[in-house]
Homo-oligomer: A and B are copies of this chain.
C-alpha cells in the first residue's frame, strides 16, 4: 500500500524503519479502535519499537489488567504464576518453620508431651533445667 510494493522483511535503513514504524503503529492502533467499536471486541495492544519506545492501546471500559486476567484464564498460560510461586513457596517455608516452633514451645510448656518418647522427654527436661538455672542465676543478680 504505497508507491511501491514492499517485501515483508526488516527495513535496513534506520530512518525509513522509524518512519514506517510510526505510520504502521498508528495504523494498527486505529484498526484496533475500529474493531473495538464495530464488533464489541476487547483489545489489548502493546507495541515496542526497536528504539524501545512503547505505545499501548486498550479498549475502553477495560484495563490491560482485565484483558490479561481473561487472557490468563482462557489461554491457560501462566503470566504471573511464576512470580506468585516464589512468594507462595516462601509462605510455605515460613509456615513450616512456624509450626515447628509452635510445637517446641508447647513441649517446653509441658503441653502435648503424652506421645513423646522417653529420650525426648529427657532432652526436654534437660533444656528446661538449663533454662531455669539461667533464669534463677539472672534473678540472683
Contacts and interface: CB of A to CB of B under 8 A. Distances in A.
Interface in A55-106: 56, 64-65, 67-68, 70-71, 74-75, 77, 79-80, 82-84, 87-88, 90-91, 94-95, 97-98, 101-102, 104-105
Contact of A10 (B40, B88, B105): B40
Report, as a range, how many residues of chain A touch the other chain. Answer: 35 or more
A124 B135 contact: yes
Q: Main SS of the interface on chain A? A: helix
A39 B48 contact: no
Count of chain copies: 2
Contact of A64 (B74, B77, B91, B134): B77
B139 A135 contact: no
A17 B34 contact: no
Contacts of A43: 45-48
A48 B66 CA distance: 11
A24 B17 contact: no
Given A48-B70, A94-B95, A132-B132, 19 more contacts: A8-B33, A9-B37, A18-B39, A21-B38, A24-B34, A24-B38, A39-B49, A40-B50, A41-B47, A46-B68, A83-B84, A91-B91, A101-B105, A108-B128, A109-B131, A110-B138, A113-B138, A118-B139, A121-B139
